[in-house]
Structure 1
Amino acid sequence: MRTIAVTGSASGIGAAVRERLTSEGAKVLGVDVRGADIEADLSTPDGRFIAVGAISERCGGVLDGLVLCAGLGAHVEDFRAIASVNYFGAVDLLDDLRDVLAKGRDPAAVVVCSNSAQFGAFDEHPYVLALLDHDEDKAREIIAKEDGFTAYAGSKHALCRAVRRRAGEWGRAGIRLNGIAPGATDTPLLKGSVDHPVFGQGVEALDIPLGRWARPEEIAAVISFLLGPEASYVHGSIWYVDGGNDAAMRPDRF
């Protein structure tokens, strides 16, 4: 039986991943701020420390898989919390659990990013650079003066780059690492954005060639594949699972 830790497991994509992996026979260690096997607040360094310690203890020092789903949407009023949860709540767990993953059986990790990572000019944005420099205080200071979209999409942009930057080191350690970039997915996070007076119209106007939002179970299916043996040569990639939204917006980029 494989042991796989899943953050954000209480709702949305994380809950769908937990259910999918459990149905496939895995032992899932769910992590969320409440309603999970391990309750921890990933918006704080202390909460991340608690999560890493609890996961390491419950897996007996050997972890086969890690899925980082925990995140806050652009509608959340505390932009600083978006930075802390979406980026540091993922990257800190990635880095701090690498050694226990390296001891696992065919270990793999999947980071839930977003196709919105390419929705802005983020390559040299000071907020993104602070995230990538792992300067949480500076990133929080910068984003407090910005807006929810920049907080969310910028954090996901940095997260995609963090995955790519780690591909060499992780691959040589025998751990596959990939990111998944969902588009609009029918979750509480999306509902929060749809109901927002600023972001709602933008979400409704998204050009999605398949004509609908994703179901969380569809995202979970791809994550399950990326964790499994049939994806044994898939590493360092960002998988867009967005009904064609990114292709519609950027037809000449890939």
Structure 2
Amino acid sequence: MMSRTFLITGASKGIGLALAHRLAQEGHHVVGLARGVIDNFPGTLLSVDLSDEQETQQTVEQISQRFAFDGIVNNVGLVKPQRLGEIDLASFDEVMRVNLYPAVQGTQAILAGMQERGWGRIINISSLTVLGSVERTAYAAAKAALISFTRNWALELAQSGITVNAVAPGPTETALFRANNPPGSEGEKRYLAGVPMKRFGRPEEIAATIAFLMSEDAAFMTGQTLYVDGGASIGKLVF
């Protein structure tokens, strides 16, 4: 298997870190961007505030000169729960900016190299919330926009050797999720009620789907959104 170089945003924890470990185990070089730096990252991890448009642009331009990237996973995200009637536009703008701007900036920075080599993978991490969720007006809108990015970019790049797909995880048992929804909590019960499998996803399970889309085997799949959610996107169990 050919060793490739992939860029992951939001790579220091959760799904991003699980994916970095999986890709490294498969023999690929992983470059991660995240605000926090950790010691056990399985590749090159650079500290950058992805909410800062100028810092992000400078960083992606620099690394695109340093590495020959074969793909990108636009994983960084920001959630600020607000119910209708309480939404403030400053928070709305921040959620939209963090979820969308780095995806455009990072993808555009490495696009020319992928086009020149005639091979590439672009994966946008969306969310189950695009199908409807309370207090997620900004977040769900941003994640729906990433699905739109996926479909549009897939059409534009269809003959280039570059595929573009999205993954929409359901509730996933990351450290942050568990901190907000401890075992036995009302939050845990509420989330589990919407998952037919009656369990949460593991970051490694989401990473497995992303890794497939980045592989040679997924060469004929583009413009698609895969829900990895324990069946939550198809409905609830009713007895």
TM-score bracket relative to the smaller structure: 0.7 to 0.9
Task: Tell me the amino acid that sits aligned with residue 211 of structure 1.
Answer: K
Secondary structure in structure 1 of the residue aligned to 2:235: helix
Distance (Å, rounded) in 2 between the aligned partners of 1:5 and 1:181: 19
Question: Could you say which residue in structure 2 is the equivalent of 1:106?
Answer: 119
1:4-83 equivalences under 5 Å are: 4-35=6-37, 37-59=45-67, 62-75=68-81, 78-83=91-96
CA-atom RMSD, angstroms? 2.4
Q: Kindly tell me: are residues 99 and 205 of structure 1, through their superposed partners in 2, closer, same or farther at Cα, counting changes over 3 Å? A: same
Question: Could you say which residue in structure 2 is the equivalent of 1:116?
Answer: 129
Q: Kindly tell me: are residues 213 and 74 of structure 1, through their superposed partners in 2, closer, same or farther at Cα, counting changes over 3 Å? A: farther
Question: Could you say which residue in structure 2 is the equivalent of 1:237?
Answer: 224
Question: Which is worse superposed, 238-247 or 96-105?
Answer: 96-105
Q: Kindly tell me: are residues 100 and 203 of structure 1, through their superposed partners in 2, closer, same or farther at Cα, counting changes over 3 Å? A: farther
Question: Could you say which residue in structure 2 is the equivalent of 1:85?
Answer: 98
Distance (Å, rounded) in 2 between the aligned partners of 1:148 and 1:57: 40
Task: Tell me the amino acid that sits aligned with residue 65 of structure 1.
Answer: G
1:85-164 equivalences under 5 Å are: 85-104=98-117, 106-119=119-132, 149-164=136-151
Q: Kindly tell me: are residues 28 and 35 of structure 1, through their superposed partners in 2, closer, same or farther at Cα, counting changes over 3 Å? A: same
Structure 1, residues 45-102: CA drift from partner, whole Å, max 9, x if none?
A: 112202312320231xx21121111111244994432211111222232233211222
Question: Could you say which residue in structure 2 is the equivalent of 1:178?
Answer: 165
CA contact (8 A) 1:214 1:242 kept: yes
CA contact (8 A) 2:192 2:199 kept: no
What is the percent sequence identity of the aligned residues? 33
Distance (Å, rounded) in 1 between the aligned partners of 2:103 and 2:190: 25
Aligned-residue offset at 1:241: 0.6
Structure 1, residues 124-170: CA drift from partner, whole Å, max 9, x if none?
A: xxxxxxxxxxxxxxxxxxxxxxx951111111011111111111112
- Stretches of structure 2 that go unaligned for 5 or more consecutive residues are 39-44, 83-87
Structure 1, residues 148-207: CA drift from partner, whole Å, max 9, x if none?
A: 511111110111111111111122232111000110011144346537xxx947853541
TM-score between both structures, scaled by the size of structure 2: 0.82
Question: Could you say which residue in structure 2 is the equivalent of 1:129?
Answer: none
Q: Kindly tell me: are residues 211 and 202 of structure 1, through their superposed partners in 2, closer, same or farther at Cα, counting changes over 3 Å? A: closer
- Stretches of structure 1 that go unaligned for 5 or more consecutive residues are 121-146, 250-254
